Chains A and B, each alone.
Chain A
Amino acid sequence: MATNTTVVGTRVAKPKTAAGPWREAAGRLFKNKLAIVGLVIVILFLFCGIFGPFLAPWPYQVQDLPAVFANGNRPLPPLSPNHILGTDQLGRDLLSRLLDGARISVTVAFVVQAVIILIGVPVGAVAGWFGGRTDNALMRLTDVIYAFPDLLFIILLSVAFRETAFGQALDGLFLVFVAIGLVGWVTVARLTRGQMLSLKETEFVEAAKAIGVSDRKIVTRHMLPNGMGPIIVAVTLGIPVAILAEATLAFIGIGVQPPRASWGSLIAEGQKFIRSEPHLVLFPAIFIALALIGFTFLGDGLRDALDPKLKGKQ
């Protein structure tokens, strides 16, 4: 250059770096409207489950007998004074009982998934990593459990252990969690195994081996985080299944015992009055449906967000 120019400039601030693939996935999730709807429902559901007893106008077991007498010994209809969703025949506030039921459903949703993850992920990871005979043995075991009729297994387990301390724990809920978890882990185990098998062939795993990273760290630090996407999706989509399973069991009288109320047992009690007092069935059914829809939308959104390549294919 002929002229001697000095360029004065300040250094441009480095843009805040994105926190990697997870944040990108979160970005994609928040752009998905259905997923947001699902997320809102799920958050409401969690809120009701955690703070339900504080929100509830009545304790779930208290009977407002005078009001029921005044109504001619019949359940109060919705929009009655003091009972916005009405009462059951014993004068117990329906909204309060639904909120208590939400607490049970939330616990089911998360404890069952925890059981599923704690069994399914290690079984799948061990099978996929070691391969050979270990793989064969573990996968045949999952086949057996997969082939067993779920509901029958849960009912048998519940009936067999009902009278024991194990069956009585947590108002009979503990047994239900374990039973649902015991039949539910196979899907996650198979999924984890599949992820491990494909990740085992990746070059970055080979590269990690080549610098002497221990097997345990290769599995936990390199492989599982990369295979986590589909597992998270499966677990999220497994939550409505677990909620529904618990509701079904409660409907046929297994699991939580009166005076506590699960959404399933509320429907079971309400069905006696389904012609005259349909609200006793309607509201629990709506609650169940909303929870299921919320988790399903969120799960679908997560699947699209975590694996953009799959979008629109399923």
Chain B
Amino acid sequence: MVSADEDISAADAPTIVELSADDVLRARTEAVANAGLGRKAEHLLEVRDLSTHFFTPDGVVQAVDDVTFDLGYGETLGLVGESGCGKSVTALSIARLVPDPPGRIVSGSILFDGIDVLKLSTDDMRKLRGKEIGFIFQDPLTSLNPTLTIGYQIGEAIKEHMGLSSKAAQERITELLAKVGIPRPKDRLNDYPFQFSGGMRQRVMIAIALSCDPKLLLADEPTTALDVTIQAQILELIQRLSSEFGTAVLMITHDLGIAAGMCDRVNVMYAGRIVETGTVDTLFENPRMPYAWGLLDSLPRIDDVRGDRLRTIEGMPPLLIAPPKACRFAPRCDYARDVCVSSEPELTQREEPQHLARCWATEPGGWIG
């Protein structure tokens, strides 16, 4: 049975309530305030100098190199960049899911709600995963186990972490399915993944990720495998549920449109490093790093009527085996000068207080004003 379900509009799904932008904003502010109530630290997530390397036969790949950022309680932070620039590895490092071997977190610290994640025992880490940290993977078609029912898979984390009676767990599973907008949830608990379409499965993945009210949701390109209409629904769902639960979201995407629409702040990553960070408004209005310009420039625009080719950034991201002490974007940068290839710029502040960029050209006194 293949269900033709994608056409559930908001009207069919009984649980989706239309909220005005103001409502969402208010709910969000409240949730963020609530989320901070039990806080043990200033930020929910404090990543400091994180380096994750992969030890391959060809050499050490520095997939994530000296990455530092904060994520506030209830905040949504975007992590954007091309393929292979370390976004996913950053998320996997936070959940300590980097496949070892060949990967290993070689230095840095990750404070999650005041706990140093990297110092936890394997078992304590397991208890944190799913309970405090939810994870949504890229491809919903392969992330669900084909031999287990939907109900079982959603209940797994609940049974593992919450110690509910099986009846209470059952109720919670049904409630979650309804929350993610699956019609007639009770009837579908015993269905298998093959009876769900791609969009429905991603809804199920979201239900699994949020099943234990996590404080943090790591969403690794949650909509890349879905078509555009479904994308919008899934993003709306993540946004609505995260503000309802007060969950902070680390949104990994290569789609700047998604970042602009969903995030409070954005980190731009390139070649394993954060090259620019700022609030969505400053970053999109006044990007201070040629790579970010390139990314913005390569977005197709609806008002672009001339029928031009899509613009791209020439070249490829560098191999991350023994990167030179230089700006890693320099080989592809139209504005590069000698200094860019002879020394590496630091992440320094720009006009706005929270706006940092790693670029010689836009530093005070640089050649781009």
CB neighbours of B194 from chain A (8 A): 21
B135–A207 CB distance below 8 A? yes
Q: Determine whether A17 belongs to the interface, using a CB cutoff of 8 Å to chain B.
A: yes
**Interface-lining segment among A90-98, A209-217, A269-277:** A209-217
Check: A151 CB closer than 8 A to any chain B CB: no
Contacts of B157 in A (CB 8 A): 211-213
CB of B195 within 8 A of CB of A213, answer no
Contact between A225 and B1, CB atoms less than 8 A apart: no
Contact of A210 among B97, B127, B144 (CB under 8 A): B97
B97 near A213: Cβ-Cβ < 8 Å: no
Give residues 130-172 of A contacting B (CB, 8 Å). none
Interface size, B (range): 35 or more
A residues with CB within 8 A of B: 14-15, 17-18, 20-22, 202-204, 206-214, 217, 221-222, 225-226
Do B156 and A202 touch (CB < 8 A)? no
**Given known contacts A225-B147, A226-B147, A211 and B195 CB-to-CB distance under 8 angstroms:** no
- Given A17-B191, A18-B1, A20-B149, decide whether A211 and B130 contact each other with a Cβ distance below 8 A: yes
A211 contacts B143, C-beta separation under 8 Å: no
- Residues of B near A226 (CB, < 8 A) are 145-147
**In the complex, A311 Cα to B171 Cα: how many Å?**
42
Q: Are B145 and A17 touching (Cβ within 8 A)?
A: no
Q: Does B149 contact A211, Cβ atoms closer than 8 Å?
A: no
Whether a CB of chain A sits under 8 angstroms from the CB of B5 is no
A31 to B209, CA, bound (A): 40
A22 to B149 Cα, complex, angstroms: 12
Q: Is the beta-carbon distance between B129 and A20 smaller than 8 angstroms?
A: no
Decide if B145 touches A21 in the complex (CB within 8 Å). no
- Chain B residues 105-152 with CB under 8 Å of chain A are 126-131, 134-135, 137, 139, 142-149
Could you give 7 example pairs across A and B, Cβ below 8 Å?
A15-B1, A18-B1, A203-B139, A204-B144, A207-B208, A211-B135, A226-B145
A213 neighbours in B (Cβ, 8 Å) = 130, 156-157, 160
Are A14 and B135 in contact (CB-based, < 8 A)?
A: no
Q: Is B104's CB within 8 Å of the partner chain A?
A: no
A contact patch SS: helix
Q: Are B161 and A212 in contact (CB under 8 A)?
A: yes
Q: Is the CB of B137 within 8 A of A206?
A: yes
Q: Which residues of B contact A225 (CB under 8 A)?
A: 147-148
B187 sits at the interface (CB 8 A): yes
Please state if A20 and B131 are interface contacts (CB–CB under 8 Å). Answer: no
CB distance from B143 to the nearest CB of A (A): 4
Q: Is the CB of B130 within 8 A of A204?
A: no
User: Given A18-B1, A203-B137, A226-B146, is A214 in contact with B126 using a C-beta cutoff of 8 Å?
Assistant: yes
What chain B residues lie within 8 Å of A211 (beta carbons)?
129-130, 134-135, 156-157, 160, 208-209, 211
In the bound complex, CA of A17 to CA of B149 (Å): 12
The interface residues of chain A lying within 8 Å CB-to-CB of B149 are 20
Contacts of B139 on A, CB cut-off 8 Å? 203
A231 CB to closest chain B CB (Å) equals 14
The yes or no answer to B245 lying at the interface (CB within 8 A) is no
CA–CA, A208 to B159, complex, Å? 13
> When the two chains form their complex, are residues A203 and B187 in contact, meaning their CB atoms are under 8 A apart?
no
Chain B residues contacting A15 (CB-CB under 8 Å) are 1
Inter-chain CA distance A225–B95, complex, in Å, is: 26
In whole Å, how far is A183's beta carbon from the nearest beta carbon of chain B? Answer: 31
B190: interface (CB < 8 Å) = yes
For A207, give its contact among B131, B143, B146 (CB under 8 Å).
B143
B146 near A212: Cβ-Cβ < 8 Å: no
Q: Once the chains are docked, how many angstroms separate the CA of A66 from the CA of B211?
A: 80
B268 at the interface (CB under 8 A from A): no
User: From A200, which residue of chain B is reached at the shortest CB distance?
Assistant: B99
**How far in angstroms is the closest Cβ of chain B from A226?**
5
Give the docked Cα–Cα distance between A206 and B211 (Å). 17
Interchain CB contact under 8 A, B187 and A14: yes
Q: What residues on B are CB-neighbors of A210 within 8 Å?
A: 95, 97, 129-130, 135, 137
Q: Is B192 an interface residue (CB 8 A)?
A: yes
**Closest residue to B184 on the A side, CB-wise?**
A14
Closest to A211 in B: B130
Report the bound CA distance from A226 to B135 in whole Å.
22
Q: Is the CB of B146 within 8 A of A21?
A: yes
Q: Tell me which residues across on chain B come within 8 A of A21, comparing CB atoms.
A: 146-147, 192, 194
Collect the chain B residues with CB atoms within 8 Å of residue A14's CB.
187
B320 interfacial contact with A, CB 8 Å: no
Q: Is B205's CB within 8 Å of the partner chain A?
A: yes
